[in-house]
Structure 1
């Protein structure tokens, strides 16, 4: 950030540093958090969704056979719902409001628990069943609706669709060798390693 303040360039870093909304700009901590979020959101979340998705297919071989046979357009969203790559996030209330009968004051922080929402039986029929034909699928894996909706959602869907189509085409006999080694994090639902075998 400091380098771009001294030597502006035509890039996203400079635009973020120079951004001015109602006379306010990002401080160094906000800027650092935004850059980390941008890097994680653009890479780690989709990669983890793919790994969780492959593991879900291993645990639900009928869904893998269905996917290989039909290639449903609904599969990517079910993989994201199932994986919920980001467990939780927070928002700061900009005004006094009420949510679910609870008063929230301006400036208070509110926790958003996506993993809980994506397995809510008031919203999803059989939420603990991995179903690549699930439709509708109002999951919050991309952060819900409105201003905070993931700007990379369509790219993530495309990447997930492409990788699983290619795995189905090139490695239809893929099999799990061991249980996934999970990342210990209260924020990211990550997988460090998932060992597989295949003939190809």
Structure 2
């Protein structure tokens, strides 16, 4: 069984979309894959309640309890690796996980670590992507699923979705339109990855 471990920090709407797609499209039979765990660095992350209600294992690891980013990432690897298996390496999915990961963590999961970013990378890596797209006068915006590398938001692109920027858009209205596409794009990109493993 290929175990998928999803990392979240908040509401987990992308995580929920992935869990729903895995059930609806029967990833277990199609790809021999399942969402095995949801892990958060925040105990109050609402997404944990959704995962628990679906019978998915959850863990909380508070980054504030660690003296350094390296120490937190080392502990996080230990938790994730409980769901690992030599014959079916775990796929680690970042879904609104608001932590910059250390090079050691990224190297440990090289080729198995994916993220979704709310812009059409390479445009607008980092934060405040929607406001930056509006300020730049972009006519389109969107989301990118990409492999994670040590350089923030610079890994190989796996899939993208494009949405129009509409007259009168604010960062909030644009973000909502992009997020609705993320919920479709991310599960599709993960299914595509699983089909090749």
Pairwise same-fold verdict (TM > 0.5): no
Structure with greater strand percent: 2
When Rg is computed on C-alpha atoms for both structures, the one with the higher figure is 1
TM-score by length of 1: 0.24
TM-score by length of 2: 0.24
